[in-house]
Amino acid sequence: MSEQSVKMVVWMRMARFVDKVVVVTGAARGIGFASAQRFAVEGATVCLADVDEDRLEAAVAVLAEAGHTVDAATVDVSGEAAVEAAINGFGERHGGIDVVHAHAGVLLPAAVGDETLDRWERTLSVNVTGVFLTVRAALPQLRRRGGGAVVLTGSTAGIVAEPEFLAYCTSKAAVNHMARQLALDLVGDGIRVNAVCPGWIDTMFNDQFIAGMSAAEVATAVSDLVPMGRQGSADEVAAAVAFLASDDASYITGHTLVVDGGITIR
């Protein structure tokens, strides 16, 4: 049995999301897809949202072929009407929503002197406004189920500054703090809100930075940056997302959980 198959068996035995409806934005690849898959294997009905229609269809096919209950909507989270339509559709089709993982985001690196207003506004509209719109749209559906859990995807870039990442770092600092604000505002509704903060994770998100580098060069760069000496996996972040969304974290709200191999301890 492969290592991945063993993991799947373990997750199925946990089954923390049976009869739960979970929405994941940015779900077509990387951490978003790994989180959707984790929720599905643990018994959830998963509702995938992503701007990339082709990748979204492929992600849905993988989950459906494995026998999971899955729904999907192609949506740009920066659009108010589109987000509300997608979230309301999920809620109406499945009788409400129990968990929201607001993961969709973009990374357009630039220092202040090279930043353009269009790139700056696109970053904030997806990474910050998109999270706000997703959570706001889901609120009636979460209340419909008597409460629930929200997990935002922040970043270590919202904790420590990184050169030439002005818009991204600013946006993720906002998301990290938004988790605290939402937690305070929604606690009376029985809704917990937390953020997961990935560091250097081995996904396509980083391709623009390692293009042209050899495997050895990437390994050296990671070793110099990460105390644990390796990149994290999307599955490792998904495990943290699932924990924060589950009843195992029933007394945790307003927290930013760092998954970074030790980057932020230096």
Residue 251 designated active-site: no
Tokens of 50: 């992503």
Residue with tokens 């209340």: 143
Separation of alpha carbons 148 and 252, rounded Å: 12
φ/ψ of 235, rounded to 5, equals: -65, -35
Q: Are strands 45-50 and 70-74 parallel, antiparallel or unpaired?
A: parallel
Q: What is the DSSP letter of 98?
A: S
Q: Which of 11, 90, 165, 168 is catalytic?
A: 168
Reduced to 3 states (helix: H, G, I; strand: E, B; else coil), residue 101 is strand
Tokens of 177: 């703090």
Sheet arrangement for strand 70-74 = 70-74, 45-50, 21-25, 99-102, 148-153, 191-198, 256-259
- Active-site positions read 168
